[in-house]
Amino acid sequence: MIDFLKNSISDLKADFCDLRFEETHGTSIVISNEGIEEVASKDSKGGIVRVLDKGGMAYSSFNMIDDLKNAILSAQKSAKLLSTRSKVDLTRFQAIKDKIATKYMIDPLSISLDEKVKLCQEYINLLKAKSIQSARVRYLDYRKKKYYVNSEGSEIELEFTYVGISFVAYAVDGTNVQKAAESIALYKGFEAVSDLHSKAEEVSKRAVDLLSAEQVVGGRYNVIIDPKLTGVFAHEAFGHLSEADHIYGNQRLMETMRIGRKFGVEQLNIIDDGSIEEVVGYTPYDDEGIPAQRTYLVKNGILNARLHSRLTSKAMNEPLSGNARALSYEFPPLVRMTNTFIDNGDTPVEELFEKLGNGIYVVDFLGGQTNLEMFTFSAAYGYKVENGKITKLLRDITLTGNVFETLNNIVAIGNDLRIHSTMGGCGKGGQSPLPVGDGGPHILVKDV
Please report, for the domain that includes residue 120, its CATH number: 3.30.2290.10
The answer to whether 390 and 421 have CB atoms below 8 angstroms apart is no
Q: What proportion of the chain, given as a percentage, has pLDDT over 70?
A: 100
pLDDT at 204: 98
pLDDT level of residue 189 (50, 70, 90 thresholds): very high
Segment holding 183, helix H or strand E: strand 176-186
pLDDT at 131: 86
Per-residue pLDDT, averaged over 195-215, amounts to: 97
pLDDT at 319: 97
Whether residue 70 lies inside any domain: the answer is yes
Beta bridge partners of 391: none
Supply the pTM of this predicted model. Answer: 0.95
Same domain, yes or no: 200 and 314:
no
DSSP-assigned letter for residue 254: H
pLDDT at 439: 98
Cα distances from 432 to residues 1, 40, 163, 311, 428, in angstroms, run 28, 20, 18, 21, 7
- What residues contact 195, with CB distance under 8 A and at least 6 apart? none
Same domain, yes or no: 161 and 130:
yes
Per-residue pLDDT, averaged over 100-127, amounts to: 98
Same domain, yes or no: 71 and 138:
yes
Same domain, yes or no: 248 and 376:
yes
Same domain, yes or no: 166 and 271:
no
Domain endpoint, select from 189, 212, 235: 212
Whether residue 354 lies inside any domain: the answer is yes
pLDDT at 368: 83
Question: What span, in angstroms and rounded, lies between the C-alpha atoms of 98 and 69?
Answer: 25
Query: Phi, psi (5° rounding) for residue 429?
Result: 55, 35
- What residues contact 343, with CB distance under 8 A and at least 6 apart? 269, 270, 271, 417, 440
pLDDT at 367: 85
Average pLDDT, the chain: 96
Number of structural domains (the chain) is 2
- Burial of 412-434, coded b for 16+ CB within 10 Å and e otherwise, reads bbbebbbbbbbbbebebeebeeb
Identify the CA nearest to 303 among candidates 371, 244, 345, 223.
244
User: Residue 197: how many CB atoms within 10 A of its CB?
Assistant: 13
pLDDT in tens, 224-233: 999 999 999 9
- Could you check whether the bond before residue 348 is cis, i.e. omega within 30 degrees of 0? no
Q: Which domain holds residue 323?
A: 223-445
pLDDT at 424: 87
